[in-house]
Amino acid sequence: MAKVYLFGYYGFGNLGDELLARYFLSRIRETFPETGLVLLTGDPRSRPEFGEERISRWNLPRIAKLLQPGDLLVGGGGSIFQDATSRRSLLYYLALLDTANRRKARVMLFGHGFGPLSTLGALATGRALRKVRALSCRDPLSAELLKKMGVACNRFREGVDPLWDLPEIEPPGPGQEERRQRPRPARKKKPAPPPMVGVFLRRGREKYKFELLKALEREFPGAVRLFALAPGDAAGLQGPAGAGSHRYRPAVFLENQEQLERACTGLSLVIGERLHGLLFAARLGIPGIGLGDDPKITAFCRELGWASFSWQEPELGDKIRKALAELWPSYAYARQKTLVVRERMMATAREDRLWFLERIREDLH
pLDDT the model gives residue 26 = 98
17-52 as b/e: b if 16+ CB within 10 A: bbbbbbbbbebbbebbeebebbbbbeeeeeeeebeb
Shared-domain flag, residues 262 and 114: no
pLDDT tens digits, residue range 105-127?
A: 999 999 999 999 999 999 999 99
326 Cβ contact partners less than 8 Å away, ≥ 6 residues apart: none
Q: Is the pLDDT of residue 248 over 90?
A: no
Please report, to the nearest 10 degrees, the dihedral formed by the alpha carbons of residues 42, 44, 46, 49 taken in order. 100
Q: What is the pLDDT of residue 312?
A: 85
Whether residue 167 is contained in a domain is answered as: no
Widest distance between CA atoms in the chain: 77
Contacts of 358 (CB under 8 A, 6+ apart): none
In 3D, which of 215, 251, 259 has the Cα closest to residue 19? Answer: 259
Which DSSP string do the residues of 185-212 spell out, in sequence order? Answer: PTTT-PPPPPPPEEEE--SS-HHHHHHH
In a domain, 356, yes or no: no
pLDDT tens digits for 296-340? 898 899 889 899 999 888 888 788 878 877 888 889 999 999 999
pLDDT of residue 246: 59
Q: Could you tell me if 127 and 200 lie in one domain?
A: no
Q: Is the pLDDT of residue 181 over 50?
A: no
pLDDT at 365 over 80: no
pLDDT for residue 270 is more than 50:
yes
223 and 254 assigned to the same domain? yes
Tell me the C-alpha distance between 325 and 330, whole Å. 10
278: amino acid identity, one letter: L
pLDDT at 149: 97
The mean pLDDT of 199-209, rounded to a whole number, is 86
Angle between helix axes 295-304 and 140-148 (nearest 10 degrees) is 130
Q: Which residue has the higher pLDDT, 172 or 289?
A: 289
Q: What would the pLDDT profile of 60-103 be if each residue is shown by its tens digit?
A: 999 999 999 999 999 999 999 999 988 999 999 999 999 999 99
Number of domains in the chain: 2
129 and 235 both lie in a single domain: no
Q: Is 184 a residue whose pLDDT tops 50?
A: no
Establish if 79 belongs to a structural domain. Answer: yes
Q: Are residues 19 and 60 in the same domain?
A: yes
Helix (H) or strand (E) holding 330: none
pLDDT at 126: 98
If asked whether residues 220 and 117 sit together in one domain, one would say no
Q: Is 187 in the same domain as 335?
A: yes
How high is the mean pLDDT of the chain?
Answer: 90
CA atoms within 13 A on the CB side of 257: 16
The dihedral through the CA atoms of 110, 357, 14, 171 has a sign that is positive
Query: Over 60: is that where the pLDDT of 190 sits?
Result: no
Where does the chain show beta strands of DSSP type E?
3-7, 36-41, 53-56, 72-81, 106-114, 134-137, 156-158, 197-200, 224-228, 237-238, 248-249, 252-253, 269-272, 288-291, 308-309
CATH number for position 151 = 3.40.50.2000
Query: Residue 165 domain-assigned?
Result: no
Same-domain pairing of 155 and 13: yes
Q: Is 178 exposed, middle or buried (0-12, 13-18, 19+ CB in 10 A)?
A: middle
Residue 122's domain comprises 3-159
359 domain-assigned: no
- CA–CA gap between residue 9 and residue 280 (Å, rounded): 19
Same domain as 289, residue 200 = yes
What is the C-alpha to C-alpha distance for residues 263 and 251, in angstroms, rounded to an integer? 12
CB-neighbour burial class of residue 286 (10 A; exposed 0-12, middle 13-18, buried 19+): buried
Q: What is the pLDDT of residues 159-176, one digit of tens each?
A: 999 999 999 788 876 544
266 with 334, same domain: the answer is: yes
Q: Is the domain of 65 the same as that of 123?
A: yes
**What does the alpha-carbon distance between residue 327 and residue 39 come to, in Å, rounded to a whole number?**
43
Assess if residue 351 is contained within a domain: no
Kindly report the pTM of this predicted structure. Answer: 0.92
- Residue 75 pairs in a beta bridge with 7, 109
In a domain, 353, yes or no: no
Taking 50 as the threshold, does the pLDDT of residue 128 lie above it?
A: yes
DSSP for residue 59 = -
**pLDDT attached to residue 122:** 98
243 pLDDT above the threshold of 80: no
Judgement on whether residues 260 and 155 belong to the same structural domain of the protein: no
Confidence bin at 180 (pLDDT 50/70/90): very low
